[in-house]
Amino acid sequence: MRARFARIASGLAILVFCGGGRPGVARAQERIDLTVDASRGGAKISRDLFGQFAEHLGSGVYGGIWVGPDSPIPNTRGIRNDVVAALKALKVPNVRWPGGCYADDYHWRKGVGTTRQVTLNPSWGGVTESNAFGTHEFMDFLEQIGAEAYLSINLGSGSVEEASEWLEYMTTAQPTTLGKERAANGHAAPYRVALLGIGNESWDCGGNMSPAAYLTQLKLYSRFVRDFNPAQQDTAARMLKIAVGPGGGNEPRWTEWTDTIMRAWQGHQWSWDIDGLSLHNYTVPAWPPSYKSVGFGEPEYAQILKKTLEMDDIIKTHSAIMDRYDPQKKIALVVDEWGGWYAPLPGSNPAFLVQQNSLRDAILASLNLNIFARHADRVRGANIAQMINVLQAMIMTDREKMVLTPTYHVFKMYIPFQDATFVPVTFNAGTYTAGGVTLPRVDAIAAKDASGRLWLEVTNVDPNQPAEVVATVSGLAAKSAAGTTLTASKVDAVNTFDAPATVQPKPFTAAVEGGRITLRVAPKSVTVVSVQ
């Protein structure tokens, strides 16, 4: 089993945002000079940064994953085959489930066995919950797509006893009553739970607790919710426990939360421990979400991207607090909810958080993934919200139809960065101004994969001007560089069931001469190349 959240060696991203945008000068002429020393290596970019999140919310699970074994939609044991194939190709490392806010409404017993109780989903529209998709179905889904479980346990309306029994049910190899019940329900072998989220937004929908009140609960759940799987008892394979961390912001409310948990962790006794602290940060300029997910213009494009770049500062603020109590970076910061959150699509149920997914979201995703990569020494997990049909989704479905979103394509293009070693790059980003905001015009990261191959990613934020990025690479004799690029004619271009390939990656080749790589990237594009 691969070591998750591996401890990190040193390595800093060096990124220079120079104010190179001169009014009246054609910015296309401003070459971006980028330097990479391929012999240098930084932190490992954990593959868990590319995690997904599937909540019982709208058609995120029912319809999106689960159609039931009797459905005319092709499925394997009730799980749709088209969605499984698409997610398998994405190499999803882990899926967080069953919430979100719903996790604190969820009672696992109602979702196992032959007779499922029909309950309610009070968090998301008060709709009925069939509990047809429960523990076994979730683990079957994970097995089909090749991902690991990030289980979010109920700390709000549940109890320590309920959660500890859930873990015993799932993980014991002993003939206990719960272990035997799991076997009778079709799974004799213990399940593997890789990650355990102890509550969700306990400062809000998870119970509106103070940091101190949550800490009391955290200690109990950390102590008594155990993983019994014999294959996970050694350090490298063990289930990792993620505490509720701050919401997206640098305000005292959030810094106090991080400070309280980390201070307690520093002085913790043997009887409780954590491996990670979560951070939730959506790109939503104001509540309620009002930006349109399609049919918007350049000002809204720029404003949303400006907002999304706040992720960097938020991570820096909370990492600095964590550094005070954990200079060795033993505790991972896990951004287990992030993404663009816009106004619900007209005509949709507002409680189902249905929005379109445009080229802007692809660029938003690449900017965030690059931020995570630059902080890979501390940020060792992230889960975009959400996987299917909800918020910034990878996949959208409508009955038998399925379409891959621009965000899906970015995640696919970034696969080579999973578990790669971060390589620092230096560049003059230039500027791009619209909608009253100024942004870095270009972003870029580099990394080396396990075979030592160098990968470069370049995002051109400017929707009007192409960019010429000239990379000088040392520590490697570059002969060729090729990969894929993603762009479209408009910033709000989307893929639909009728036109699924409007935003689609295309082959891309860079010019290489004298060891210098010239990438001529299109306006509003995401490009990934491997250097040979």
Closer residue to ligand AHR, CB minimum distance, 100 or 406: 100
Contacts of 224 (CB under 8 A, 6+ apart): 160, 163, 164
Angle between helix 211-224 and 252-266 (nearest 10) = 40
Please list every residue from 323 through 352 that binds ligand AHR, using CB under 6 A. 337
Instruction: For residue 530, give the amino acid letter.
Output: S
Query: In the complex, what is the shortest distance from the CB of residue 238 to ligand AHR, in angstroms, rounded to a whole number?
Result: 25
Interacting span for ligand AHR (CB under 6 A) from 98-106, 425-433, 498-506, 518-526: 98-106
Instruction: Please report how many Cα atoms fall inside a 13 Å half-sphere around the Cα of residue 356, on the Cβ side.
Output: 21
**What is the distance between the alpha carbons of residues 474 and 38, in angstroms, rounded to a whole number?**
6
Task: Tell the smallest beta-carbon distance from residue 100 to ligand AHR (Å).
Answer: 3
> CA 137, 356, 459: angle at the middle one, nearest 5?
100
Yes or no: say if 106 and 56 are a contact pair by the CB < 8 Å rule.
yes
Give the residue from 298, 178, 276 showing the smallest Cα distance to 228: 178
One of 201, 275, 300, 377 touching ligand AHR (CB under 6 A): 201
Tokens of 246: 């701050």
Say whether residue 383 binds ligand AHR (CB under 6 A). no
The CB-of-523 to ligand AHR minimum distance in angstroms stands at: 31
* Catalytic residue status for 337: yes
Q: How far is the CB of 316 from ligand AHR (least distance, A)?
A: 22
Task: Output 57 or 469, the one with its CB closest to ligand AHR.
Answer: 57
Q: Please tell me whether residue 385 binds ligand AHR under the rule CB under 6 A.
A: yes
Q: Does 55 bind ligand AHR (CB under 6 A)?
A: yes
Q: From the CB of 307, what's the least distance to ligand AHR, in Å?
A: 16
Assess contact for 315 and 370: CB atoms under 8 A: no
Select from 97-105, 178-186, 314-322, 517-525 the region that touches ligand AHR (CB under 6 A). Answer: 97-105
- Binding ligand AHR (rule: CB under 6 A), the pick from 98, 99, 483, 505 is 99
Q: Could you give the CA distance from residue 428 to residue 340 in angstroms, rounded to a whole number?
A: 27
Choices 173-181, 293-301, 359-367, 384-392; region in contact with ligand AHR by CB under 6 A: 384-392
200 binds ligand AHR (CB under 6 A): yes
Q: How near is the Cβ of 102 to ligand AHR at its closest, in Å?
A: 6
101 interacts with ligand AHR by CB under 6 A: yes
51 interacts with ligand AHR by CB under 6 A: no
CA angle 128, 129, 134 (to 5 degrees): 175
Q: Give the list of residues 6+ apart from residue 196 with CB closer than 8 angstroms, or none.
A: 150, 151, 153, 167, 225, 227, 239, 240, 241, 242
Cβ atoms of 140 and 75 within 8 Å: the answer is no
Restricted to residues 453-512, the positions that interact with ligand AHR (CB under 6 A) are none
The catalytic position among 55, 148, 337, 457 is 337
201 is catalytic: yes
Residues in the chain: 532
61 is an interface residue for ligand AHR by CB under 6 A = no
Binding range to ligand AHR, per CB under 6 A, among 10-18, 197-205, 316-324, 472-480? 197-205
Work out the number of other CB atoms within 10 angstroms of the CB of residue 125. Answer: 14
Q: What letter represents residue 1's amino acid?
A: M
Enclosing H/E stretch for 517: strand 516-521
Question: Per-residue DSSP letters for 461-477?
Answer: --SS--EEEEEEEESS-
Tell me which of 148, 201, 300, 457 is the catalytic residue.
201
DSSP H or E run through 486: strand 481-486
Q: Provide the residue type at 397 as one letter.
A: T
Q: Is 248 in the site for ligand AHR (CB under 6 A)?
A: no
Q: Which residue number has the CB closest to ligand AHR?
A: 100
User: Is 100 near ligand AHR (CB under 6 A)?
Assistant: yes
- Contact between 377 and ligand AHR by CB under 6 A: the answer reads no
Q: Which range, of 73-81, 94-102, 267-275, 443-451, touches ligand AHR by CB under 6 A?
A: 94-102
Residue 78 binds ligand AHR (CB under 6 A) = no
Query: By the 8 A CB rule, do 407 and 349 touch?
Result: no
Give me the residues that bind ligand AHR (CB under 6 A), please: 55, 99-101, 200-201, 205, 337, 385-386, 391
Residues that are catalytic: 201, 337
